[in-house]
């Protein structure tokens, strides 16, 4: 076995050195307080769990209904609320409500859920997308990565 301090192959002793218990050789044990002989270490081999690769898992994603703008405007008007009043009640800006109702801004799922609760309408729908093998991880393209920015910066310096 190898000494934790010098790496020498030798008989090891459990030794407390500066508050840490290490397995060290006889020479290195002089740097601390010997607690006893070190026990032989068994290699720590992690167990691998096999997952069936043939099983497929359908992916469910939440999307905003295509006619969200008309649904929101129609329900707000039925409740007799102006955009300003509606915005105050759900603690959002009036300009945001205007953009949502004109369809120039699509609300996030979180905001859509908030509007759903207040207006008692359905804005978020769950869609089942083509099944993907279990072993694959879900990835999302989110535009530029840090690596992309570095490459662009290097190209612009040339």
Map out the domains of the chain with their CATH numbers.
1-39 (no CATH), 59-129 (1.10.260.40)
Q: What is the value of pTM for the model shown?
A: 0.48
β-strand 33-37 against 13-17: which pairing, if any?
A: antiparallel
Q: Left (φ > 0), alpha (ψ -120 to 50) or beta: where does 36 sit?
A: left
Q: 60: burial class by Cβ within 10 Å (0-12, 13-18, 19+)?
A: exposed
The predicted-structure confidence for 25-65, as pLDDT tens digits, reads as follows 888 888 899 998 888 766 666 665 555 554 566 788 889 99
Question: Which residue stretches of the chain have pLDDT < 70?
Answer: 41-57, 131-158
Residue 54: its pLDDT value, please?
47
Mean of the per-residue pLDDT values of the chain? 81
Integer Cα distance of 108 and 140 in angstroms: 16
98 closest CA partner among 73, 127, 134, 65: 73
* Token pair of 34 as six digits: 């010997």
Residue 20: its pLDDT value, please?
87
Phi, psi of 16 (to 5 degrees): -90, 110
């Amino acid at each position: 076995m190898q000494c934790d301090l010098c790496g020498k192959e030798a008989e090891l002793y459990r030794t407390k050195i500066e508050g840490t218990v290490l397995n060290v050789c006889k020479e290195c044990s002089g740097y601390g307080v010997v607690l006893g002989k070190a026990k032989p270490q068994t290699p720590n081999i992690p167990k691998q769990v096999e997952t069936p690769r043939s099983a497929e898992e359908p992916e469910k994603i939440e999307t905003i209904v295509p006619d969200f703008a008309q649904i929101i405007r129609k329900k707000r008007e039925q409740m007799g609320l102006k955009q300003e009043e509606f915005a105050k009640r759900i603690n959002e800006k009036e300009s945001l409500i205007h953009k949502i109702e004109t369809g120039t801004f699509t609300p996030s799922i979180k905001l859509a859920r908030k509007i759903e609760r207040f207006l008692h309408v359905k804005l978020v729908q769950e869609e089942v997308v083509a099944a993907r093998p279990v072993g694959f991880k879900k990835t999302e393209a989110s535009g530029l990565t840090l690596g992309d920015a570095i490459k662009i910066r290097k190209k612009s310096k040339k």
